[in-house]
Amino acid sequence: MSDLTTAARPDVTLDDAARIAAGHWGLSGEMRELGSHQDHNVRIDAPRGRFVLKIANAGWARSALDAQHAALPVIAAAGIPGPTPVGGIEQVTVAGQRVHAHVLTYVEGTPLLDRGIFGVDECRLLGNTAGRVVAALADFAHPGAERHSPWDLRNAAGVIDQLAPGLRAEVATHLDRIGELAARLPTQVIHGDLTDDNVVLADGAAGVIDFGDLCVSWRCAELAVTAASVIGKTGDDVGAVLAVVEAFTAHVPLTDIELTAVWPLVVLRGAVLVASYTEMEADGAENAYAQQRDDADRRAYQASAALDAEEMSWLIRGAGQPLPTLDLPRLLPGARPVALDVTSELWDDGAWLNSGVRPDATRYGEYRLDRARPLTAPGHHKVFTLGVWITLPEDAALPETPPGVIVDASGAPRIWVQACALPGTPPRTVTAHAEHLWRRICPDPSPLLGVDVAAPEPDPAGLLARRGAHFAAVQEHYYDAPPQIERGWREFLVDSRANVYLDLVNNVATTGHAHPHLSRAASRQWRLLNTNSRFHYEQVVTLCERLAGLAPDGLDQVFLVNSGSEAVDLAMRLALTATGRTRMLAAREAYHGNTIGSDAVTSSIGDNPHALETRPAWVELIDAPNRIRGTHRGPDAGRAYLADLDAQLGRIDTTEIAGVILEPLFGNGGGVLLPEGYLAGVFDRVRALGGVCISDEVQVGYGRLGHHFWGFEQQGAVPDIITIAKAMGNGQPLGAVITTRAIADAFAAEGSFFSSAGGSPVSAAVGNAVLDVMADERLQENARIVGTRLKDGLDALAVRHPAIGAVHGMGLYLGVELVTDRETFAPATELAHAVCEAMREEGCIVQPTGDLHNVLKIKPPMVISAESVDYALAALGRVLSRL
């Protein structure tokens, strides 16, 4: 075996280990195997303490072990807890092979890896420990450390070529870069493997174990190995790496050249790990320890290879050394910069997607929206601007540029101006990672122009604090640390850092966000007239005609209000007055609104944990007809729920029942379809009692189901009253009640009905514009076709991922129910939360719903494209595989 390969581990049983420990060190006790890539490590709990017997790989030279024994006291003298050698290094025979073995004291504590928490503090601790070890070993020398180790990154090219030549092309630029820098990288003895595996925490102090990779190498390689080990362990790889760099360089000041080498070495370290697994697989060697790490290390390597190498090198250089404060003189004429951020009017009506603008002057620190694209993960695009464009007056001469200032006049009179505290030519726009560090590397060039050209820094956390101060907190927000969403376009939402998210939750945005036809109709109507419906104007008449035309025959009287809650409230008043009765039937687990009346029939404990104990006496709750996880399941569930209802009606005074309010599909439960025949069965029974039937279509009606315009059509039932809102106004406060003339007339006996803004010219114009867009863009058909594609894709994911218990709904009203057990349907509430967080990192906004918060609600704007649906499915697949 060549000394460049990672040699196979010796074949040692616990019996062998016991024999060797007793024979050579007089040690006996409980033995247990510890993990190792290449050696055999056995912990011995002996009466006189804990020890580790290390039986070395046959490739080991005795001198390398001598070097370890010599280095350990040096580490200890620096105050870093670590193992102490017990006795000497012995030759032992295992499986007929002569190999070296030695014994060290066992370092008590928990490896960082096993603590289950890993954040930026752990990154700092690792960087700090690696820095202290390198500082301690700075003057240490031993001939045994001058060895040829495959883990020495100086040999990375050879290892990769030999073990995984397929990787060579992927890392070629990093190898070339290191080739250029190598001669200027100082060497010393390093530990070589300071990762969360080998740093143990006991009583708050970090100890170091496993000196098996000790050798002379580049001193910056120690930092690279540690930095590589934190990738994939926190939510922010860039921040994690920089935390390691900062902590390390606090103990070992590195040169600018060394810092430049760190990132290529991080990627190469990942590649060497992957290469070593490739070899182990080829050998068919069984090493459970290594296999367990394999996947995580491969993913980490891929994550590092996917980061922008130029940006990473700049950031590491910026984080790893003190940056000079630039003295920027006034050099250039002032400028009046144009905003290009998320709220810039230049980008209205989707213009950010096909930018050709070149303003005379731009801003520094701008998150340029025209550099962002949909269907990408946040932080993926180079949107953050580190300099400014300005246009010089015709007669202006170009100034001499002082150190730290870059002026590119190749496109004069438009010139690029950028300040930079480090030597070299920095990138002009970068991805939105570590922006505060970028602001130090490339500071605000305003002083050069004598005017403020800096864009305001986005501050979603500051805004959240302001929100918390006065916006009553019971009005919740999505996510613990929500992005600040300031623009929408079609099925996309954009935050203040120009991250574009696929919006999978906004069923209210029927026509998509910021539809030009809608915004034009609303602003035109505002310029014409906005008043109340006691005046006589066309928009309200047209809207009511269109709604009556959409409703079933006989339902041709329309009331216009401002919300779903108001519509539900009014619908129940209509039922009470039409029947002269006082009580309503409503299903458990439903949500109907926030007014006293609509809240009374809302019994979802997901929204109000006390809902079931606090419903007023006029509300008669009936069982939630959930055929997936309810009292009755399967094909006969409808009949069984109706039989229960009959029994319940037999127990109460039905002469007081004015009617029933039901959603035609469990909106709040995540789109669970009602059992077959259920809605028609309930309506028949209520009508037989002399009651009135309300279908609450606020959430699921209005074309979203694709196959049907109204939810009740899916159930083959016809209501007496329909409530709508949400979709009909695309977010404009607009709701409606549609009913029969008989019911509307009965209500007239109560006096007049008036809603100041319900059906106002502006609201009615928006309602009409929504219907225009739905017809012109065939949105119901889109809901059917794209919705079916989405549902089929989710069903396919359910085959591969047992966490998906069921996929509910139809069209673009879908729910993905996550369970811990497909038989019992036990809810996977925590998983649902984690999936939503991870989906956000993939650039998709999705939220949990249902009484148990375990159903992902998927109800995107009805304009969603097949491409977006495919992106969402791929993202969900990745997330479910990962979690």
Cβ-based nearer residue to ligand PMP, 313 or 699: 699
- Whole-number minimum distance, CB 728 to ligand PMP, in Å? 10
For the bound state, the minimum distance from the C-beta of residue 604 to ligand PMP, rounded and expressed in Å, comes to 10
Residues 6+ apart with CB under 8 A from 302: none
What DSSP string runs through 549-604?
HHSPTTEEEEEEESSHHHHHHHHHHHHHHHHT--EEEEETT----SSHHHHHT---
CB of 696 to ligand PMP, least distance (A): 5
* CB-based contact 101:89 (threshold 8 Å): yes
Least distance to ligand PMP, CB of residue 588, Å: 14
Q: Provide, rounded to whole angstroms, the least separation between the CB of residue 661 and ligand PMP.
A: 9
Q: What is the nearest approach in angstroms of ligand PMP to the Cβ of residue 544?
A: 19
Residues 793 and 816: beta-carbon distance below 8 Å:
no
Q: Which residues pair with 808 in a beta bridge?
A: 815
Instruction: Give the residue ranges of DSSP H helices in 419-514.
Output: 435-441, 446-449, 460-470
Q: Is the Cβ of residue 630 or residue 667 nearer to ligand PMP in the bound state?
A: 667
Encoded tokens for 110: 């928990």
Q: What DSSP letter does each residue of 736-792 carry, written as one string?
A: EEEEEHHHHHHHHTT-----SSTT-HHHHHHHHHHHHHHHHTTHHHHHHHHHHHHHH
Q: Are 777 and 511 within 8 A, CB to CB?
A: yes
Kindly state the smallest distance separating residue 573's Cβ from ligand PMP, in Å. 15
651 contact partners, CB below 8 Å, separation of at least 6: none
Q: Residue 313 or residue 603: which is nearer to ligand PMP going by CB?
A: 603
Q: Where along the sequence are the contacts to ligand PMP (CB under 6 A)? A: 563-565, 568, 591-594, 663, 667, 696, 698-699, 725-726
Q: Is 323 exposed, middle or buried (0-12, 13-18, 19+ CB in 10 A)?
A: middle
Tell me the closest approach of the beta carbon of residue 489 to ligand PMP, in angstroms.
Answer: 23
Q: Which lies closer to ligand PMP via its Cβ, residue 245 or residue 570?
A: 570
- Cα angle 488, 491, 492 (rounded to 5 degrees) comes to 45
CB closer to ligand PMP, 244 vs 621? 621
Q: How many angstroms separate the CA atoms of 6 and 18, rounded?
A: 26
Strand, coil or helix: what is 207?
strand
Both tokens assigned to 183: 């001669």
**Contact by Cβ (8 Å): 641, 635:** no
30-34/665-666 β-pairing: unpaired
Residue 382, class by beta-carbon neighbours within 10 Å (0-12 exposed, 13-18 middle, 19+ buried)? middle
Closer to ligand PMP at the Cβ: 419 or 679? 679
**What minimum distance in Å lies between the beta carbon of 250 and ligand PMP?**
53
Among residues 415 and 698, whose Cβ is nearest to ligand PMP? Answer: 698
| Nearest distance from C-beta of residue 809 to ligand PMP, angstroms | 14
Locate 37 and state its tokens. 């890539």
Which C-beta is closer to ligand PMP: that of 378 or that of 593? Answer: 593
H helix and E strand count, the chain: 25, 33
The residue (of 40 and 592) whose beta carbon lies closer to ligand PMP is 592
Q: Which two three-digit tokens encode residue 259?
A: 């810092």
Of 455 and 812, CB closest to ligand PMP: 812
Nearer to ligand PMP, 71 or 571 (CB): 571
In angstroms, the CA 709 to CA 770 distance is 14
Encoding tokens for residue 17? 């280990």
Query: Of 362 and 598, which has the nearer Cβ to ligand PMP?
Result: 598
Whether the CB-CB separation of 305 and 267 falls below 8 Å is answered with yes
Query: How buried is residue 8: exposed, middle or buried, by Cβ count under 10 Å (0-12/13-18/19+)?
Result: middle
- Of all helices (H) and strands (E), which one includes residue 878? helix 866-882
- Minimum CB separation of residue 659 from ligand PMP in Å reads 16
- CA nearest 53: which of 18, 77, 81? 18
State the residue number with the nearest CB to ligand PMP.
564
Q: Least distance to ligand PMP from the beta carbon of 541, Å?
A: 24
Supply 396's token pair.
């202006």
Checking phi first, is residue 851 left (phi over 0); if not, alpha (psi -120 to 50) or beta? alpha
CB-wise, 246 or 696, nearer to ligand PMP? 696
The SS3 of residue 238 is: helix
**Residue 306 CB contacts under 8 Å (≥ 6 apart), including other chains:** none
Question: At closest approach, how far in Å is the CB of 570 from ligand PMP?
Answer: 12
DSSP state letter for 337: P
To ligand PMP, the closest distance from the beta carbon of 667 in angstroms equals 5
Pick 240 or 601: Cβ nearer ligand PMP: 601
Cβ proximity to ligand PMP, 83 vs 606, nearer residue: 606
Nearer to ligand PMP, 525 or 565 (CB): 565
In angstroms, give the least distance from the CB of 709 to ligand PMP.
16
Q: Measured from the CB of residue 733, what is the shortest distance to ligand PMP in angstroms?
A: 8
